Structure 1
Amino acid sequence: MAGTTGDLGHRIALALLDRGAQVRALVRPGNTKPEVASLREQGTEIVEVNFNDPAALTRACAGAACVVSALSGLRNVIVDAQTHLLDAAVAAGVPRFIPSDFAIDFTKLLAGSNRNLDLRREFGRHLDRMPIQATSILNGMFMDLLTGQAPVVLFKLRRILYWGSADQPLDFTTIANTAEYTAAAALDPTTPRYLRVAGEVATVRDLQAAASAATGQPFRRLRAGGLWVLKLMIKITRRLVPAPKEVFPPWQGMQYLHNMFTGLPKLETLDNDRYPDIQWTKVREVLAAR
Structure 2
Amino acid sequence: MPLTVGIAGITGKFARLVLKNLCRSSGVQIRGFCRNPSKLPAKFRDSPDVTIVQGSSDDVDVLRIFVRGCDVVICCYLGDNTLMTEGQKLLVDACDAEKVDRYIASDYSLDFTKLEYGQLPAKDPMKHVKDHLDSKKHVEGVHVLIGAFMETFWSGYFNVWHPEECKLSFYGNAAEYVAAVARDPSATGLQHFLGDRRSIHGIADDFAQVYGKKPQLERLGSLDDLYKAMQATFNKDPSNIFAYLAMFYQYYCTNGQAYLKPELDNRKYPEITPVTFKKFLQDHKMEELSDSYQNAGSDV
Counterpart secondary structure, 2:159: strand
175-184 vs 224-233, which deviates more? 224-233
Question: Which one of 36, 44, 47 corresponds to residue 39 of structure 1?
Answer: 44
Alpha carbons 1:103, 1:139 under 8 Å: kept: yes
Counterpart secondary structure, 2:168: strand
Q: Shift of the alpha carbon at 1:259?
A: 0.4
Equivalent in the alignment of 1:24? 31
Residue 94 (structure 1) aligned with residue 100 (structure 2): yes
Alpha carbons 1:140, 1:267 under 8 Å: kept: yes
Counterpart secondary structure, 2:226: helix
Q: Shift of the alpha carbon at 1:38?
A: 4.5
Equivalent in the alignment of 2:166? 170
Q: Deviations over 1:212-250 (max 9, x none)?
A: 222211224321111122123223433566545x6xx14
Equivalent in the alignment of 1:251? 244
Alpha carbons 2:195, 2:274 under 8 Å: kept: yes
Alpha carbons 1:99, 1:136 under 8 Å: kept: yes
226-235 vs 92-101, which deviates more? 226-235
Equivalent in the alignment of 1:213? 209
The whole-number CA distance in structure 1 between the counterparts of 2:232 and 2:152 is 23
The whole-number CA distance in structure 2 between the counterparts of 1:134 and 1:228 is 35
The whole-number CA distance in structure 1 between the counterparts of 2:237 and 2:37 is 32
Q: Shift of the alpha carbon at 1:118?
A: 1.4
> CA RMSD for the aligned pairs?
1.8
Q: Deviations over 1:6-56 (max 9, x none)?
A: 11111111111112321110112xx15532544213442111123323222
Q: Shift of the alpha carbon at 1:77?
A: 1.0
Alignment of 1:1-290 (within 5 A): 1-20=7-26, 21-28=28-35, 31=36, 33-35=38-40, 37-43=42-48, 44-131=50-137, 132-148=139-155, 151-152=156-157, 160-164=158-162, 166=163, 168-238=164-234, 242-244=238-240, 249-268=242-261, 269-288=263-282, 289=284, 290=289
Residue 194 of structure 1 aligns with an amino acid whose one-letter code is L
TM-score of the aligned structures, taking structure 2 as reference length:
0.85
Counterpart secondary structure, 1:11: helix
Counterpart secondary structure, 2:32: strand
Q: Structure 1: where are the runs of 5+ without partners?
A: 153-159
Q: Deviations over 1:240-283 (max 9, x none)?
A: 66545x6xx14112110110111111111211111111111111
Counterpart secondary structure, 1:263: coil
The whole-number CA distance in structure 2 between the counterparts of 1:220 and 1:267 is 29
Equivalent in the alignment of 1:155? none
The whole-number CA distance in structure 2 between the counterparts of 1:239 and 1:108 is 23
Alpha carbons 1:104, 1:171 under 8 Å: kept: no
In 2 relative to 1, CA 251–162 (structure 1 residues): closer, same or farther, beyond 3 Å? same
The count of aligned residue pairs is 274
Alpha carbons 1:197, 1:272 under 8 Å: kept: yes
Q: Deviations over 1:117-159 (max 9, x none)?
A: 11111111111111222211000110223543xx21xxxxxxx
The whole-number CA distance in structure 1 between the counterparts of 2:92 and 2:145 is 19
Alpha carbons 1:163, 1:230 under 8 Å: kept: yes
The whole-number CA distance in structure 1 between the counterparts of 2:132 and 2:183 is 23
42-51 vs 62-71, which deviates more? 42-51
Alpha carbons 1:49, 1:60 under 8 Å: kept: no
Equivalent in the alignment of 1:156? none
Counterpart secondary structure, 2:272: coil
The whole-number CA distance in structure 2 between the counterparts of 1:212 and 1:113 is 35
Alpha carbons 2:130, 2:141 under 8 Å: kept: no
Counterpart secondary structure, 1:126: helix
